[in-house]
Amino acid sequence: MAVSTEITQQLLDYFEQSELLSLLSIHFYINDQLYVREITKETENYAQRCGVTPIPLSDLPQVLSKEPTKVLALCDDGNLIQALLGNLRLEYTPV
């Protein structure tokens, strides 16, 4: 099941807010390829854990011609992840 291009762009816009940009590592899976904005410590750990090779792409929206199967936001700050999860649940939980 894919994530629609529209929702993916909304998530990307949310995750790339100036106050979050340096705190999150954003990952997209498209056709079993892992695309990332940049390779961070979180990206390296994730890639090693999952056995994937990340493809760095500074302009992530350029791959949005295809719908991703996963959109991930990684961060070492558990409190930030919980806050993001709460905000996203309010925005995207079906009624």
CATH of the domain at 25: 3.30.1240.10
Cα distance between residue 43 and residue 40, in whole Å: 5
Supply the pLDDT for residue 60.
81
Q: For the chain, which ranges sit under pLDDT 50? A: none
Supply the pLDDT for residue 10.
92
Number of domains present in the structure of the chain: 1
Using CA atoms, how far residue 82 sits from 13, 66, 75, 85, in Å, is 19, 29, 11, 5
According to the 3-state scheme, what is the secondary structure of the chain?
Answer: CCCCHHHHHHHHHHHCCHHHHCCCEEEEEECCEEEECCCCHHHHHHHHHHCCCEEECCCHHHHCCCCCCEEEEECCCHHHHHHHHHHHHHHHCCC
Supply the pLDDT for residue 94.
67
Supply the pLDDT for residue 14.
93
